[in-house]
Amino acid sequence: MKIFIIDDESFMRDMVSAFLKDKFPQDEGFTFENGESALKNIYQDPDVIILDFNLSKSATNAHNGVEVLKEIKKMRPQTPVIMLTGEDSPSVAIDAVKFGAYDYVVKNENAFHRLQLLLDNIHGYTRLNSQFGFQRMMNIVLGLLLAAIIVGILVTRFS
């Protein structure tokens, strides 16, 4: 999977990136220090986005985490976005979920454990979806094959 990490704190970006390389070596992590640069690269079709809730206003007109989340959901509504926040507050949780976040993780001693659980869930869901898609394709192929057999029988019978 391709994972975007958007956080204005370089230490946190590096920590999350190192965590992903350790726990999910098959995944690709891409880091961005602000929402604008991530949104410019959204065409790369990330499978998951890890987004800092409190992006600082490092540049004039820079988006905060909620604004970036809204933009992501407009462009890629099916992409799971995990919000990272330093605030353990119900209002943060409500805002994150209200605007389409998959879930949120508080930056504390349990953050990486929780992040791993969420990413494991997303990996499992992705695997199930791909298996379901394969099954659906096989059902279509079998249906077409059955239709061809029936047409063949009818053609030979009435010829």
Among residues of the chain, what percentage have pLDDT more than 70?
92
The rounded distance, in Å, linking the Cα atoms of 85 and 76 is: 22
Given strand 103-106, what is the order of strands in its sheet? 28-32, 2-6, 48-52, 81-85, 103-106
| Mean pLDDT score of the chain | 88
| Each residue's pLDDT tens digit, 48-66 | 999 999 887 555 566 789 9
For 57-76, the DSSP string reads --STT---HHHHHHHHHHH-
Reported as a pLDDT band with limits 50, 70 and 90, residue 125 is confident
Q: How many CB atoms lie within 10 A of CB 150?
A: 10
pTM: 0.77
Spatial distance between the Cα atoms of 41 and 158, rounded to a whole number of angstroms: 60
Assigned token pair, 148? 């061809």
**Domains defined for the chain, CATH in brackets:** 2-157 (3.40.50.2300)
pLDDT for the residue numbered 154: 82
Contacts (Cβ under 8 Å, ≥6 apart) of 81: 48, 49, 50, 51, 69, 72, 73, 100, 101, 102
